Chains A and B, each alone.
Chain A
Amino acid sequence: MVFKIEKLKIILKIIILVIAIASSNAQAQVWLSKNAKIRFFSKTPLEDIEAASNYAAGALNTKTGRIFFKVMMKSFKFEKALMEEHFNENYIESDKYPSAEFDGIIQNIPDFTKDGNYELMIKGSLLLHATKVPRDIKATFRVTNGKIEAKSIFLVPCQDHNIKIPSITRKNISDNIEVTILANFTAKS
């Protein structure tokens, strides 16, 4: 009888544990970044081209480590209206391919409940100009007072995404575009 009661206790504990894990909304797992900033930069001796969007959206699951970003191509603003038109019309073809997406998994998931700076490796894929390319990127995550800030800088080769640069503008546009993502995540309520 004593054995049976012990067994029941264990079962009870497991039930409680399972319910606790399965309904652990108290600790947020899903974090959202509504107005993430994405900037890109092309540097050549002839011309620097810079564009930025403040309308990217991102989400992060701190338990599974999955991270997802999406940005509308037409939300990128350039210094010169003509560049913006060329970007949308000639290079990115935003009417055909309106958005870009990054979908990845954090390889070394840290304890997001603890404040600190974390250098994380994200394995994922970048979907741009209808071409999906596997990418491993490094990102810095900073956790302070229940906020998560993420920053990552990486290079995107135009060639990888089938973005054709004609010979006439080859000297004005870099083969590798430097992309910077800045995202402030808040817990999804």
Chain B
Amino acid sequence: MNCFKIILLSGILLLGMRLAAQDDELASLVNSQTDSTIDDKVIASFKTTRLINLTTIEQVKRGELDFRIAHRFGDIAGSAGGASTFFGFDNVSDIRFSFDYGIFDVWQIGIGRSKGGYSTSQVFDLNSKFKLAQQKKNGFPLAISLFGGLTFTSMQSSGVLSDINNFNRSTAHRFNYFGQILIARKMNDQFSFIIAPTIVHRNLVFLGDNNTHFAIAAGARFKISKRAAIIADYYQVLNVSNFQKLIGHQMPIGLGFELETGGHVFHALFSTNTGLMESQFLPNNTAKFTAGQVRFGFNISRVFTIIKDK
């Protein structure tokens, strides 16, 4: 009988072990079938396609249309600000309406119209952004995109030879171009930064000014809650021209508060520069931060789904 018991017990034990092993196997089996590379993609480095002046690596996704309004008031303080202009609110200097559409998840095109504070800043623009590299958790550490475009002014030519808005000699003088390599990294849940080598080329410039300017831009977002963040960006022009030195050129600085409300993204911001396009604010800015020539502004972004993903 002892022999019988041992065999029976060992049999039950064997069976039990087998079943237990199989059940642990179940979870590891499922784990081995789960494609964890799905999780590898780093998303939402920035909330929207732009910070204040600087473009981010975020794309308008395929089939979506991003309608944006950028708005800058006049100088808060300084000679053009103060209580007499209600701290700049009376001087709406810059407005840009734009539509950006995602052709693919990695490629968007955009069109915009800017109203500026001075003669050459009423421009149409066409732009395009292409995503070259995706940041991965276990892989490539950076997100890299190419961004570029052109601006075109439709305003009447002055016909005066020395004017910046004399386009009698060539229609090409109405065009300016810009290009950027956007390099970004989301460091953690809260903090992302971006660095962008920039080139701006203007066909018509004042005497002593450079046609081509090189610059380095830097920007960052710091999330203070799930839906609110502090954003900032800065441009450093590398080859400041004699003309710019003469007019007292200043580097564009922006600092803002970003709020997301489901469908809209709002930026309430302060910036030094006039002009909303790279080819305007980069070479032309003379607003001095220390002289109180800071302006209040806001950006609004609303994304519409044109083609639904199934």
Q: Which residues of A contact B (CB under 8 A)?
A: 7, 10-11, 14-15, 17-18, 21-22, 29-30, 32, 34, 55, 57-61, 63-64, 66, 68-75, 77-82, 85-86, 88-90, 94-96, 98-99, 103, 166, 168-169, 172, 188
**Cβ-defined contact, A90 with B30, below 8 A:** no
Question: Is B29's beta carbon under 8 Å from chain A?
Answer: yes
**Cβ-defined contact, A77 with B33, below 8 A:** no
Question: Beta-carbon contacts of B179-197 to A below 8 Å, as 1s and 0s?
Answer: 0000000000100000000
- CB-nearest residue of chain B relative to A90? B226
Q: How far is the CA of A99 from the CA of B38 in the complex (A)?
A: 10
**Cβ-defined contact, B226 with A70, below 8 A:** no
How many Å from the CB of A55 to the closest CB on chain B?
Answer: 6
Q: How far is the CA of A175 from the CA of B263 in the complex (A)?
A: 20
Most buried by A among B26, B41, B62, B310: B26
**Cβ-defined contact, B26 with A57, below 8 A:** no
Q: How far is the CA of A49 from the CA of B34 in the complex (A)?
A: 25
**Cβ-defined contact, A66 with B35, below 8 A:** no
| Contact of A18 with B15 at beta-carbon distance under 8 Å, contacts A66-B23, A89-B226 already known | yes
Q: Which residues of B contact A (CB under 8 A)?
A: 3-4, 7-8, 10-11, 14-15, 18-19, 22-23, 25-27, 29-31, 33-36, 38-39, 41, 43-44, 61-62, 64, 189, 226-227, 261-263, 303, 305, 308-310
- CB-nearest residue of chain B relative to A69? B30
| Contact of A22 with B261 at beta-carbon distance under 8 Å, contacts A7-B4, A81-B61, A88-B43 already known | no
| Contact of A55 with B26 at beta-carbon distance under 8 Å, contacts A22-B11, A80-B64, A89-B44 already known | no
How many Å from the CB of A90 to the closest CB on chain B?
Answer: 5
CB-defined contacts of A103 to chain B, threshold 8 Å: 27
**Cβ-defined contact, B43 with A82, below 8 A:** no
Could you list 10 examples of A-B contacts with CB < 8 Å?
A: A18-B10, A55-B38, A58-B30, A59-B33, A63-B19, A80-B303, A82-B305, A90-B227, A98-B39, A103-B27
